[in-house]
Structure 1
Amino acid sequence: MSLAVRFDGIEKQFGPVRVLHGVSFDLAPGRIYGLLGENGAGKSTLMKILAGYERANAGELYVDDTPRTFSNSRDAEEAGIVLIHQELNLADHLTITQNMFLGHEIRKGFFLDESAMREAARIALNDVGLYTNPDTRVRDLIVAEKQLVEIAKAMLRAARLLIMDEPTATLTPSETQRLFALMMRLKGAGTTIVYISHKLDEVERVTDEVIVMRDGRLVARAPTDEVTRQQMANLMVGREVSDMFPDKPALANDAPVAFKVEQASVPDWAEGVSFSVRRGEVFGFAGLVGAGRTELFEALVGLRAMQAGRIEIENESVKLKSPRDAMRHGITYLSEDRKGRGLHVDMALKDNLTMMTLERYAHPLIDGRAERDALTSAVKDFGIRTGNPAIRARMLSGGNQQKLALAKFLHPDPRVIVLDEPTRGVDVGAKRDIYFLIHRLAAEGRAVIVISSELIELIGLCHRVAVMRAGELVATLGMDLLTEERLIAHATGTH
């Protein structure tokens, strides 16, 4: 069952950009390793080499002391190595069961054994805490549920080495705790786990050792209980990282209301939700998975049908039938699904950035130089790490894709900004940059709404936090009442 891995001088480059520089370290069986580093540090690339998705340009990969080169992920899976992707890798039009057994179908003679696959899928889903019908189509799941399907799918592969890339990015604390319990069971059975995460509190809780990469190189390795979170953060970015959250900008008592919602209802998701956000305010939304936060805001900006409700922007009643309609009225919404709804990953960076504001660059032909200048400014302002600005968005790391998505949705200069999981998959240094950006936007007099699964993020950022449960807004807490315990109690109905 056990499996040992050793990287020996691994190098990798994409065109002229070298992303791994002679990386060497080993992984022993039955241990949980925290693999840390900023976006672009090379963590995901190294793990994709291990899992058969990429091939090294130089160096050797040893599995159980045998040199191995995997041609594809199927080869790696047959050796017991499974990667759970940060970016969801599911076919939306297929059912959960079909996704979980795609390429690994169970057969009974010449036919597929549908009942056996369905039952195995159900058991794996229950193990990760997703109690839903395995015949449900993936397109009907929310992002957090899709993440749990990815984890359950990996469980079916009987992995001897499991790589988890930001597995808790969209999970609630209770779902995260269930995942940790599952990891401990796997560790006890001899499975090696590589846990990639920017949530340093989770790394501290669940891992045995931390391995830190920076700029494509291994920079540190130590037992987890010998390294503080602050030291982890400093090692990742190569400098002192302190004061994660800026001081909250003062909010005048007479600050005018910028965005007001009355009795908004979304079929199957939200009922009678009312709230208002003032200029200069950072207003948070908390709640468990399925509480209806994302679906509410998708309806408010025209991405899905709204059954009832009234919307005011700057005291003007508006009807928003599409995101473009919303943008014209000064509101933009950054989806939690940056790959599906935030970016066109097969397009160039500049094309992504200027897509929502093309009229600025058409005279009447598109001014390519002006677009490139805008991208140069965005790369600097948002800290987007790219060796070549002409690449497609797909070539960026997950965190740098998130920064590009933020730049894109702020490019129209909105008055009201809705950010759904704005730091999902973003490293500690970039998180701090985004937090300061959010407060800068508020200080400029904009209304900023932050939907987040990270309670510490909401407490550190927001003037007020609304809590949703089962489609209803059940509480709104001011700064003096913002604690994790209160937020969890309202979200679970145990207050």
Structure 2
Amino acid sequence: MAIFEAVDVAKSFGVIRALKGVSVGIRAGEVHAIIGENGAGKSTLMSIFCGKAPPTTGELRRNGKPVQFHRPLDAQQAGISIAPQEINLVPDLTAAENIMLGAHRRGPLGIDWKATRTLASEHLLKIDHSIDPATRVSALSKAQQQLVQIARAAATSADILILDEPTATLTSRETEKLFAYIRAFRAAGGSIFYISHRLDEILELSDRISVLRDGAFVCELDPRTTTKEEMVQAMAGRAIGKGNPAPHVHLENREVVLSVRGLTRHGEFEDVSFDLHRGEILGVSGLVGAGRTEVAKCIFGLTRADVGSVDLFGERLDNRSPLASIAKGLVYLPEERKQEGIFPLLSISENMAMPSLGRYGGLLRLRNGDMMKEVDGFVSRLRIKLGSTGDPITSLSGGNQQKVIIGRWLMKNARVLIMDEPTRGIDVAAKFEIQQELRRFTDRENLSIIFISSELEEVLDVSDRILVMHEGRVKGMPTAAEATQESLLQLAMS
């Protein structure tokens, strides 16, 4: 019997039907995976489950009885809590204060801080013992913040947890600890809705798999008998290609567009050197904390190097800044798209066209028709799922927001892209489409790309060569043809 279920739930946002009569439920002591492409309705359904949004039609049932959630607190009181994909913590509070936010233990004179911190530590230790509960969240890594967020969901004493892409920022060690926690939670009778684009995780953890497509329930799969290929086809409604999209050869004969020599920023990375050739996709691999993002930000000009040089198209960039880099055709796409990548109050078209507005200046106003024609072209090429380009960008799924950001800089005619975890939170089909589109741009437009990713399979699929980092140093640079996941992991841990 289902302890919680949605019955014929639909949700509309204006004319857009995000959910179309979905019925799914969860049993006690079960991990129920919900999978689907970006825009399939997963996040909308989870928002309804945790009280962030009411259904337009249909109903929710808890232990067979209809319930209504008007706010997240209503869902928490019904024993349902969510750890969302995007980090949603208070940075100036400690890990313990974030975990117990709104659930502080009270004493005779107010908050009993000792009891509150003790309870927070107990919840955190069940997931990861390496995080100091007294540390401010702003001082924690993204992976640690994600674990704190999961501990906060568990601290509500919920018996149903919703985990949305929980391992997106985690190392393999942290992922193993989280899996151990999930199994213990399930063994104790708890239930988990698990959303992830990492299909291996779904097959390893789940008891049932429900597939959504275009806002509708498609089918239920048995993880004991299904395959990743069947899962992908059910999500997409079509067969999806796979494999390396024709890596380039003889790159050494091509022009060097970006040359980095001896780049050092003490405490972050040391003596980083490499060349990026015209039309090349250079993958950057390494465990979380290897220094990949720090190097990217330094090349772009967000931080200053202590030693070393960066040459772009043969010109030394001594006074690097983001504005100067963009003007010369070098662009950095940040890892945290919500905090650093989008303009949340603006529309989809405005977000995409923002850096290119000067190109559409008319005598008295913007040549809006020309601009929208180009925006529509990139929407089509990148297969962005949307209602209208005039809708706010926050109406899109995370993966489609990322596609808008990619389109923004392709529209700006960027010549070198540094992409930091560009497909995090994007489904398998969309990843393949983006990989193919990036390859087409490197072939036809002579675009060159530095592609940073924690997923070894993705790095192998998309790259020509792979720069492997460990503890701030370059450990090797094999070609994709000669590398394997095992060899990359060995370099990354050496």
Tell me if TM exceeds 0.5: yes
Corresponding position of 2:373: 373
How high is the sequence identity, in percent, across the aligned residues?
36
- Equivalent-residue separation in structure 2 for 1:217 and 1:399 (angstroms): 19
Corresponding position of 1:78: 77
Corresponding position of 1:454: 455
- Equivalent-residue separation in structure 1 for 2:120 and 2:290 (angstroms): 25
Q: For residue 452 of structure 1, what is the amino acid of its counterpart?
A: S
- Equivalent-residue separation in structure 2 for 1:470 and 1:417 (angstroms): 24
Q: For residue 105 of structure 2, what is the amino acid of its counterpart?
A: I
| TM-score, normalising length: structure 2 | 0.95
Q: Is the 8 A contact 2:349 2:372 kept in 1?
A: yes
Q: For residue 260 of structure 1, what is the amino acid of its counterpart?
A: S
Corresponding position of 1:427: 427
**In structure 2, the residue corresponding to 1:332 is in which secondary structure?**
strand
- Equivalent-residue separation in structure 1 for 2:92 and 2:308 (angstroms): 32
Corresponding position of 1:210: 209
Corresponding position of 2:270: 271
- Equivalent-residue separation in structure 1 for 2:224 and 2:293 (angstroms): 37
Structure 1 gap segments, 5+ residues each: none
Corresponding position of 2:484: 483
Superposition pairs of residues 193-272 of structure 1, within 5 angstroms? 193-272=192-271
Q: Is the 8 A contact 1:34 1:195 kept in 2?
A: yes
Q: Is the 8 A contact 1:467 1:475 kept in 2?
A: yes
Corresponding position of 2:137: 138
Over 3 Å counting, the alpha-carbon distance change for 1:136 and 1:197 in structure 2 is same
Q: Is the 8 A contact 2:2 2:64 kept in 1?
A: no
Corresponding position of 2:99: 100
- Equivalent-residue separation in structure 2 for 1:208 and 1:291 (angstroms): 35
Q: For residue 450 of structure 2, what is the amino acid of its counterpart?
A: I
Over 3 Å counting, the alpha-carbon distance change for 1:24 and 1:348 in structure 2 is same
Task: Tell me the CA shift for residue 369 of structure 1.
Answer: 2.9
Q: For residue 402 of structure 1, what is the amino acid of its counterpart?
A: Q
Q: For residue 314 of structure 2, what is the amino acid of its counterpart?
A: N
Over 3 Å counting, the alpha-carbon distance change for 1:268 and 1:123 in structure 2 is farther
**In structure 2, the residue corresponding to 1:343 is in which secondary structure?**
coil
Task: Tell me the CA shift for residue 186 of structure 1.
Answer: 0.8
- Equivalent-residue separation in structure 2 for 1:360 and 1:482 (angstroms): 42
Q: CA RMSD in A?
A: 1.9
Corresponding position of 1:467: 468
**1:44 aligns to 2:37 (yes or no):** no
**In structure 2, the residue corresponding to 1:312 is in which secondary structure?**
strand
Task: Tell me the CA shift for residue 244 of structure 1.
Answer: 4.5
Structure 2 gap segments, 5+ residues each: none
After superposition, what is the alpha-carbon deviation per residue over 1:432-487, rounded to whole angstroms, capped at 9, x for unaligned? 11111221232233221111010001111112212211222222222344111122
- Equivalent-residue separation in structure 2 for 1:251 and 1:54 (angstroms): 54
- Equivalent-residue separation in structure 2 for 1:424 and 1:450 (angstroms): 12
Task: Tell me the CA shift for residue 3 of structure 1.
Answer: 7.3
Over 3 Å counting, the alpha-carbon distance change for 1:396 and 1:380 in structure 2 is same
Q: Is the 8 A contact 1:100 1:153 kept in 2?
A: yes
After superposition, what is the alpha-carbon deviation per residue over 1:167-204, rounded to whole angstroms, capped at 9, x for unaligned? 11222222222211111111111111111111112111
- Equivalent-residue separation in structure 2 for 1:207 and 1:32 (angstroms): 5
Deviates more, 1:112-121 or 1:160-169: 112-121
Aligned residues: 492
Task: Tell me the CA shift for residue 430 of structure 1.
Answer: 0.7
Q: Is the 8 A contact 1:245 1:436 kept in 2?
A: no
Q: For residue 26 of structure 1, what is the amino acid of its counterpart?
A: G
Q: For residue 457 of structure 2, what is the amino acid of its counterpart?
A: I
Over 3 Å counting, the alpha-carbon distance change for 1:132 and 1:299 in structure 2 is farther
Task: Tell me the CA shift for residue 207 of structure 1.
Answer: 1.0
- Equivalent-residue separation in structure 1 for 2:480 and 2:213 (angstroms): 36
**In structure 2, the residue corresponding to 1:226 is in which secondary structure?**
coil
Over 3 Å counting, the alpha-carbon distance change for 1:306 and 1:366 in structure 2 is farther
Task: Tell me the CA shift for residue 405 of structure 1.
Answer: 1.3
| TM-score, normalising length: structure 1 | 0.95
- Equivalent-residue separation in structure 2 for 1:154 and 1:138 (angstroms): 16
Task: Tell me the CA shift for residue 311 of structure 1.
Answer: 0.2
- Equivalent-residue separation in structure 2 for 1:308 and 1:141 (angstroms): 27
Over 3 Å counting, the alpha-carbon distance change for 1:67 and 1:187 in structure 2 is same
